[in-house]
Amino acid sequence: DQSGMAYSVGTTLDRFIKLKQSDFPFASGELSQLLRDIALAAKIVNRETNRAGLANIGGAFGQTNVQGEEQQKLDVIANIRFMRALSKGGEVCAIVSEEEDAVIDLQNNSGKYVVAIDPLDGSSNIDVNISIGTIFSIYRRKTPIGSPIQEEDVMQPGTEQVAAGYVLYGSSTMLVYTTGFGVNGFTYEASLGEFFLSHPNIEAPKNGKIYSINEGLEKSWTDGIKDYIGFCKSEQLSARYIGSLVADFHRNLLKGGIYLYPGTQSNPNGKLRLLYEANALAFIAEQAGAKATDGNQRILEIQPTSLHQRTPLYIGSDKMVDEALRRIARHK
């Protein structure tokens, strides 16, 4: 990495993206622009998130809009903000969003990129002032630029991602992303309106002491999952579960840990979505030296067959995911 000397902790995201453009010798700068567009939308959503507690008392401080309309839900607002940023920028031809049933064809045939996004994940935590997140994956379209988008542009396996990231709206707001050359994390300084490089070249611990799973669903686990979680308990690991995927993943990425969302009786593929939840985090995990699997194969190698398909997800520290896989295989 020739740009290695040119940035350090404290470098702004904009400058970092510019410096990193040299990672793509043939790129025209559109991916960089797209990342900046996403960062801008994240700042807006961050602002809305911080105000969320005031939304319902809007009238009390003069924020009710002139039409007297009811405040929109934060996840709807986030979807609108990201859709706007992605469609105005000109780099994107199609969007898959958790909030939209169908693919959004932007009718921008000169756009090179397809984005899959969960604009605001952790819906059960939005109203209770707990960390929530945005998750995004970026793909290069498969069909020639200038032609209408096709299914193959959208249904790409995670291995084809050119960039992926998440925004964590937590005690600090952070943006963490990869373009396939390691993982870098940026912390938002609201008073300056900038993301600053705070976590350069994140490397996940190979092992950890945290396991994260919704234990209320134990009854529906397979014997393999019961075996592995029993093992975690026998090792006296710490149980940590926020219920916001980005927050649980981020903590485990930095501290070492495993997150599991297995299939359940009613949902054999679990709850999480392949295209805009699992793939992005799997790409980041692998880039940070961690692992992501559905119990049978790498998440990134799953060939998607539908937009909103679910997948079991076991993601985190290398050795922990290996141990989980060993115990899952033992009971197959």
The residues of the shown chain that bind ligand AHM, judged by CB under 6 A, are 98, 121-124, 214, 243-245, 248, 271
Judge whether 98 is annotated as a binding position.
Answer: yes
Residues at the contact surface with Mg ion, assessed by CB under 5 A: 118, 121
Residue 214 contact among ligand AHM, Mg ion, none, beta carbon within 5 to 8 Å by kind: ligand AHM
Judge whether 198 is annotated as a binding position.
Answer: no
Judge whether 123 is annotated as a binding position.
Answer: yes
- Of the pair 118, 248, the CB lying nearest Mg ion is at 118
Judge whether 261 is annotated as a binding position.
Answer: yes
Judge whether 124 is annotated as a binding position.
Answer: yes
- Of the pair 162, 321, the CB lying nearest ligand AHM is at 321
* Closest distance to Mg ion from the beta carbon of 214 (Å): 14
* Closest distance to Mg ion from the beta carbon of 177 (Å): 18
* Closest distance to ligand AHM from the beta carbon of 157 (Å): 21
CA separation for the pair 292, 322 (Å, rounded)? 10
CA separation for the pair 230, 286 (Å, rounded)? 26
Buried b (16+ CB within 10 A) or exposed e, 72-92: eebbebbbbbbbebbbebbbb
Buried b (16+ CB within 10 A) or exposed e, 264-301: beeeebbbbbbbbbbbbbbbbbbbbbbbbbbbeeebbe
Residue 37 contact among Mg ion, ligand AHM, none, beta carbon within 5 to 8 Å by kind: none
Residues in the chain, total: 332
Find where tokens 């469609």 sit.
Answer: 87
* Closest distance to Mg ion from the beta carbon of 269 (Å): 15
CA separation for the pair 134, 320 (Å, rounded)? 26
Q: 279 φ, ψ to 5°? A: -60, -45
Residue stretches of the annotated binding site for Mg(2+): 98, 118, 120-121, 277
Residue stretches of the annotated binding site for substrate: 121-124, 214, 241, 259-261, 271
